[in-house]
Amino acid sequence: MPQPGGVISLDHDTPELARSYDEAGLVQFRHGKFLIGPLAIKSGEHVLDIGTGTGRLAEFVAGLVGPNGHVIGIDPLAGRVEIARLRQADNLQFDVGRAEDLARFHDGQFDAVYLNSVFHWIADKDRALREIRRVLKPAGRLGLNVQDPSRPHQSRLFLRQAIADTGIADHRPDSNPVLGSTDEELKSLFAANGFVDYRSELRALVDVHEDADSLLRWSEASAFGNFLEAFSPTEREQVRRAFVRLVEAKRTPEGLTLERYLRFAFARKAPTDN
Ligand SMILES: C[S@@+](CC[C@H](N)C(=O)[O-])C[C@H]1O[C@@H](n2cnc3c(N)ncnc32)[C@H](O)[C@@H]1O
């Protein structure tokens, strides 16, 4: 399933974006813990973290599986993997790699696989899910969280408003799509790729950012160079300024509190699926 607009590229990441992602990574880490809880990861298990970014959540999960377990984090962005590798533990390993190609792993290698804020970036979701099913043990668990396009984040609504305020939105209706999957889409993708016991929950979350600039830095780092990519540098600057104006009006003494929604989805490989 190609991404709308075809604008997602893995080629725009920079060492600055990778560092900035790591520094601001606590937001995603908090969402990741909501993903890890229901996966019920136990001591001694083997776990794959797909789209591990700079590895903060993988390091946390390595603590859960303990010395007899193992966690491998993969990410297509070499700069992020480089930072992840600074997190050293005997049961933790990071490699460059993507969801659609797990050929380096053997059939039935993992007890659990998870993707924290990654699924919406994956171009070929069927292929990724087929691969995940292959590398899971029978009854192995899959968990992921993803934006729901019908419930865009509050920051996304501000961004839309900012684009409209600049007067350039109508020329590029596809330039900044809300990526994500609905419950129905996820349910049928999981079923079509042989997963059972699908369940999902849309959670309302509140993210706190210091100010509009740090929110923008965070958005840019999370999108690894794809944020407002379709706009010219001048247009981008105009949108940034309009966005800062809108968002700063919402600031409280605690910072910017913005609502967002994430769908958390879980399933298993069938126990009889060898
Ligand atoms: C928002 S970050 C989340 C990083 C990490 N999971 C965390 O919790 O901080 C999204 C990550 O997805 C990765 N990604 C994008 N396309 C991918 C793909 N096809 N397969 C695996 N990871 C991918 C990006 O490189 C990026 O590091």
* Cα 226 from chain centroid (whole Å): 14
Tokens of 215: 């929110």
Residue range 9-269 forms a domain whose CATH class is: alpha beta
Averaged pLDDT, 23-28: 80
Confidence of residue 220 (pLDDT cuts 50, 70, 90): confident
Determine what percent of the chain is predicted with pLDDT higher than 90: 57
**Residue 252 alpha carbon to ligand 1 centre in Å:** 31
For residue 257, pLDDT beyond 70: yes
The CA distance from 176 to 209, in Å, is 22
pLDDT above 60 (res 113): yes
pLDDT band at residue 116 using 50, 70 and 90 as cut-offs: very high
At residue 18, does pLDDT exceed 90? no
Q: Which residues pair with 72 in a beta bridge?
A: 48, 93
* Higher pLDDT, residue 163 or 73: 73
- Count of C-beta atoms within a 10 Å radius of residue 261: 16
- The alpha carbon of 151 and the centre of ligand 1 are apart by a number of angstroms equal to 21
- Domain positions in the chain are 9-269
Site to substitute for ligand 1 among 75, 80, 226, 264, most atoms within 8 A of C-beta:
75
Least confident piece of the model among 97-101, 126-130, 150-154, 259-263? 150-154
pLDDT in tens, 120-131: 989 899 999 999
Pairing, β 195-209 against β 256-269: antiparallel
Residue 176 has pLDDT above 80, yes or no: no
Q: What are phi and psi for residue 230, nearest 5 degrees?
A: -75, -10
Query: Which segments of the chain does DSSP mark as H helices, in order?
Result: 15-23, 26-39, 56-65, 78-84, 125-135, 154-166, 183-192, 212-222, 233-248
Helix segments in 56-205, DSSP class H: 56-65, 78-84, 125-135, 154-166, 183-192
Separation in Å, CA 230 to CA 27, 235, 239: 26, 9, 12
**Averaged pLDDT score across all residues of the chain:** 89
Ligand 1, CB cutoff 6 Å, lining residues: 25, 28, 32, 50-53, 56-57, 75-77, 80, 98-100, 116-118, 121-122, 222, 224
